[in-house]
Amino acid sequence: MATKRDYYEVLGLPRHAAPEEIKKAYRQTALKFHPDRNPEADAEEKFKEASEAYQVLSDPDKRARYDRYGHQAPGGFDFTDFSFMHLDDLFSDIFGEFFGSRPRGPRRRRGSDLRYDLTLSFLEAARGTEKTVVVPRHVPCEECRGSGAKPGTSPLTCPTCRGAGQLRYQQGFFSVSRTCSHCQGKGTVIQTPCATCRGHGLKEVKRKLKVKIPAGVDNGAALRLRGEGEIGEMGGPDGDLHVVLTVKPHPIFERQGTELILDLPISFPQAALGDEVEVPTLDGPAKLKIPAGTQTGKVFRLRGKGMPELQGYGQGDLHVRVFVEVPSKLSKEQKDLLQRFAEISGEDISPQRKSFLDKVKDLLNQN
pLDDT exceeds cutoff 50 at 99: no
The band of 181, judged by pLDDT with boundaries at 50, 70 and 90, is confident
Class for the domain spanning 1-91: mainly alpha
- CB-based contact 20:58 (threshold 8 Å): no
Average pLDDT over the chain, rounded to an integer: 83
- Residues recorded for the chain: 367
pLDDT recorded at residue 121 = 96
- Over residues 213-240, the mean pLDDT reads 89
> Within a 13 Å sphere around the CA of 10, how many CA atoms are in the beta-carbon half?
24
pLDDT recorded at residue 311 = 73
The band of 360, judged by pLDDT with boundaries at 50, 70 and 90, is low
The overall pTM is greater than 0.75: no
Comparing 184 with 332, the larger pLDDT belongs to 332
* Residues in contact with 170: Cβ distance below 8 Å, sequence separation at least 6, in sequence order: none
Q: What is the pLDDT of residues 298-348, one digit of tens each?
A: 999 999 999 999 877 789 999 999 999 988 888 899 888 888 887 887 766
Burial class from Cβ neighbours inside 10 Å (0-12, 13-18, 19+) for residue 97 reads middle
pLDDT exceeds cutoff 50 at 295: yes
pLDDT recorded at residue 154 = 86
- Over residues 273-299, the mean pLDDT reads 94
Q: What is the pLDDT of residues 30-41, one digit of tens each?
A: 888 877 677 787
The band of 264, judged by pLDDT with boundaries at 50, 70 and 90, is very high
pLDDT exceeds cutoff 90 at 167: no
pLDDT recorded at residue 261 = 97
Q: How far is CA 117 from the centre of its chain?
A: 10
What per-residue string of b and e applies to 4-29 under the rule 16 or more CB within 10 Å gives b?
eeebbebbebeeebeeeebbebbbeb
pLDDT recorded at residue 7 = 92
Angular region, 332: left φ>0, alpha ψ -120 to 50, beta rest: alpha
pLDDT recorded at residue 87 = 46
The band of 145, judged by pLDDT with boundaries at 50, 70 and 90, is confident
Q: What is the pLDDT of residues 232-259, one digit of tens each?
A: 877 788 899 999 999 999 999 999 999 9
CATH number of this structure's domain 253-326 = 2.60.260.20
Q: What is the pLDDT of residues 38-89, one digit of tens each?
A: 778 788 888 888 888 998 998 888 888 888 888 887 767 665 444 343 444 4
Cα separation, 314 vs 119, in Å, equals 25
pLDDT recorded at residue 42 = 84
Virtual CA dihedral for 16, 219, 74, 132, nearest 10 degrees?
-120
What per-residue string of b and e applies to 99-124 under the rule 16 or more CB within 10 Å gives b?
eeeebeebbebbbebbebebebebeb
- What does the domain layout of the chain look like in residue ranges? 1-91, 253-326
pLDDT recorded at residue 367 = 54
